[in-house]
Amino acid sequence: MATYKQLIAEKEALEAKLIEVRQTEVAGVIEKIQTLMAEYELTADDIAPKRRRGRPAAGDKPKGAAKEKASLPPKYMDPKTGATWTGRGRAPAWLGKNRDKFLIAE
């Protein structure tokens, strides 16, 4: 049975061999790519993914995207129609100038 030190030495030898073999294979792959690019008259711009501009589509939200905001509770209510308003955005016509009489008590 091999000792711990022997196994570590074998591991280091294998890692060195992995690096060497990878470098030779990568060189061959790069050569093939360059040959194909020359044969088909391609450039790096043809191969690189296209950058899209503008807002991402609905399904393309980033991982940290904010969730939908919850609606705010209404602050004002029209007693005749039951219509409500949160106090944000354009004020409804039924509110008039005196907002205090339409204020919902908390």
Per-residue pLDDT of the chain (106 residues; tens, 9 = 90+): 789 999 999 999 999 999 999 999 999 999 999 999 999 999 988 888 777 777 766 665 666 656 677 788 999 998 899 999 998 989 999 888 888 888 888 7
Residue 12's pLDDT is: 96
Three-state SS for the chain is: CCCHHHHHHHHHHHHHHHHHHHHHHHHHHHHHHHHHHHHCCCCHHHHCCCCCCCCCCHHHCCCCCCCCCCCCCCCEECCCCCCEECCCCCCCHHHCCCCHHHECCC
Residue 51's pLDDT is: 73
pLDDT single digits (tens) 50-78: 777 777 666 656 666 566 777 889 999 98
Residue 2's pLDDT is: 86
Domain ranges of the chain: 1-49, 71-106
pTM of the model as a whole:
0.40
